[in-house]
Homo-oligomer: A and B are copies of this chain.
């Protein structure tokens, strides 16, 4: 869906460049989250790594992708399927990391549970990261 990719960029008032088209298409095709290294690898020497960093940051700012907290503290990104916009992310779903294949999934339909905190604590965001074996590896 080359068309679809361009539409997403236009809708977010981003100019259409090769790197943005390529990187965004990688996210659309992928079913799991992508790290900077994944993108660098999958796009060969096509783009400078700085461009990848900047493109990822732009996409996050625009609400096109969101960062995912991980237990191995690496930075991963995935498409926002929620109604995210510039400066307002609403990706309140559970994330899953497979210990076997390393894939990180957005479980978009599993919303994070409410956590009761001690008096005096004000909650603004809750992140849930589940580790284990994914349905793809579990057969």
Residues of A with Cβ closer than 8 Å to B?
69-71, 73-75, 94, 96, 99, 107, 109-110, 113, 115-136, 138-139
Contact = CB atoms under 8 A, between A and B. Distances in A.
A132 B99 CA distance: 29
Contact of A73 (B75, B110, B115, B133): B75
Contacts of A136: 120
B119 A130 contact: no
Contacts of A130: 115, 117, 121, 123, 125-127
Given A94-B115, A130-B123, A135-B120, A71 B73 contact: no
Nearest to A73: B73
A127 to B, nearest CB: 5
